Amino acid sequence: LVGRLVAVSESDVLHVASLARLAIDPVRLPSLVKELNGILEHIEELNAVETRPEMGAVRSETTGTPIRSDIDGVSVPLALAREALAPLMRDGFYLVPRLGTHEDQGERAP
H or E stretch including 102? Answer: helix 100-103
Q: Does 73 bind another protein (CB under 8 A)?
A: yes
* Number of residues forming the site for another protein (CB under 8 A): 48
Instruction: Sketch the per residue contact string, 82 through 101, with another protein: x for CB under 8 A, - otherwise.
Output: --xx----------xx-xxx
Instruction: Kindly write down the DSSP assignment for every residue of 25-57, as one continuous string.
Output: PTTTHHHHHHHHHHHHHHHGGGGGS---TTTT-
Among 76, 91, 105, 109, which residue interacts with another protein (rule: CB under 8 A)?
76
State whether residue 62 is helix, strand or coil: coil
Residue 53 beta carbon to another protein: minimum distance, rounded to whole angstroms: 8
Q: Does 106 bind another protein (CB under 8 A)?
A: no
